[in-house]
Chains A and B, each alone.
Chain A
Amino acid sequence: MIAGVGEALLPVLKPTKPASTNPANEVAKKITGRDYVSWSAISTFRTCPLKYKFRYIDGLPEESVSSALVFGTGIHSAVEQHYQAALSGEEQPDVDRLMFAYRSAWLPHDPDTIQFGSSETRASLDALAARMLTAFLNSPSASVQGRVLGVEEEIRGMLVEGVPDLYGRVDLLTEDTDTLVVTDIKTSRGKWSQEQVEDSGEQLLLYSHLASEISPGKKIATRFLVLTKTKEPVIEEHTREVDPVNVKRTLVGVERVWRAIESGVFYPAPSTVACAGCGYRSACRVWAG
């Protein structure tokens, strides 16, 4: 019995992050309150610098959230549960279990703040999710090629001098005998064109750059696992080897975005597509510089 030991209450030790060696992280912390930058933040700035300011610097809550965002998060959670179960050697989760994971993504949101499309309802999206997840389980993509190393894995590291660490989550990290594969799971209105694959690759290029230390000497490939939100969902994969030239170009882009953020260059970028579902419409309208 150990009931007699440690009578005095001791301070509880909590995990702390390793010390940063990147001076730019301190700058980032002063600007945004976070000692890193995420791809989501970079991407938001590129879509609309003012939206970036509202979200990451001012910390304004969004008036609404797009149903597509919540839906995509739910599908992500479900597919990730499938791969985590595979890694753990558990019985394959059936559609009902994956739907449970999918539904959990809706819980944190006030239903009144979710902005649905004109022909969408929560019930129609749930039915679509069930079809998509069934298609996924019946597809070759449900079977892991090689070995799973990580699911929804956090990665972080310095990419460019003078830019804070990039922090992100890799949806799926797998390897076979000669290649490390960094997978991003996407939901899409339709099948992807080659141009979409190329245009969407920057995030994965950066993640693959950070992940390269995991399997030194191995080739690195990026892979999109796309689940279409069509009447009859299709599961497609787009795998590419990492081209160092593309990595360099992407890094330069990240560096320029960060310089703009550091300099306080924020302005609205009106767009009929992006503004329609933006949660900062009211704040944007009253912004005067």
Chain B
Amino acid sequence: MLKLHAGVSKKVGLPGFSSASASCTIEAELDSSLLQDHDGFQTVVRRAYQSCEKAVEDQIARLLVQGNPTPISPVCVPDAPEHPQTTNGPQTRSQSPSRAFQPVTQEAIEVRTSPAISGATVTRIPAAQSTNQPSPRPATASQVKAIRAIAARRKIDLVGLLRERFGLTTADELGIRQASSLIDELKSDEPTTAGTNGNGAYAAGGAR
């Protein structure tokens, strides 16, 4: 079985320190014969992303029309690094440590919006409030890289995990604290890596 996860998210800055965002994720099972057809596979993946992009653009446009704001700056993040994901049938699935990490097996196309614009209305944060309570700092690039590396190593369905736990599509959308906790959690129930202590940090004297 060949599985494809494709996702795109977009965030538009709005006046008054508010924003609107939308994301779209496609999860699909593909015919495994596509593995032998490089061009065909690339075409399918490209179309998946294009479909996501179109859905996200439409949703953002709807939100802007309803809220009537003028966007400041769009930030669109194709969710490429985690996908496409190839799994190896039931054997791989049985290695998943919890239900949260189970790969999704049915085809699903969904358009999700972030909590900030749930109900398709733009939520605007009063300027004074946003000044005093700045948005949480996003996860660092190295945290995102670490989460993806751990997920890949442990064959975890990262998209499913992020959606279930945080209501997010990509690791880039996590806050720095969320990312930190997730890394700790993912590492804590992993067999101890040789040479590392409980924090994932190495004990000294390890030159080999």
Mark A residues whose CB is within 8 Å of B: 1-3, 5-19, 82, 84, 86-92, 94-95, 133-134, 137-154, 173, 213-214
Contact = CB atoms under 8 A, between A and B. Distances in A.
Specify the main secondary structure of chain A where it touches its partner. loop
Contact of B199 (A9, A134, A147): A147
Contacts of A137: 205-208
A6 B45 CA distance: 11
Given A89-B200, A214-B137, A138 B207 contact: yes
A148 B47 contact: no
B196 interface: yes
B142 A87 contact: yes
A7 B48 CA distance: 10
Contacts of A1: 28-31, 107
Nearest to A136: B207
B66 to A, nearest CB: 21
B114 interface: no
A138 B56 CA distance: 50
12 contacts: A3-B44, A9-B50, A15-B76, A84-B146, A88-B146, A89-B186, A89-B200, A139-B204, A144-B199, A144-B201, A148-B142, A150-B141
B127 interface: no
A139 B78 CA distance: 41
A12 B54 CA distance: 10
Given A89-B190, A144-B199, A151-B142, A19 B4 contact: no
B207 A2 contact: no
Contacts of B43: 3
B62 to A, nearest CB: 17
B104 to A, nearest CB: 14
B140 interface: yes
Contact of A87 (B4, B183, B197): B183
B126 interface: no
Given A19-B73, A88-B149, A150 B142 contact: yes
Interface in B83-138: 107, 109, 134, 137
A132 to B, nearest CB: 11
Given A13-B74, A148-B201, A149-B142, 6 more contacts: A7-B47, A14-B76, A86-B196, A88-B150, A139-B204, A153-B141
A154 B195 CA distance: 29
B18 interface: no
A92 B195 contact: yes
A150 B137 CA distance: 12
Contacts of A139: 204
Nearest to B52: A6
Nearest to B27: A2
B202 A144 contact: yes
Contact of B180 (A3, A84, A145, A147): A147
Contact of A10 (B26, B54, B78): B54
Interface in B123-176: 134, 137, 140-143, 145-146, 149-150, 153, 176
B193 A90 contact: yes
B75 interface: yes
Contact of B78 (A13, A86, A89, A151): A13
Given A91-B195, A150-B141, A2 B75 contact: no
Contacts of B4: 2
A129 to B, nearest CB: 13
B76 A16 contact: yes
Nearest to A150: B140
A141 B207 CA distance: 12
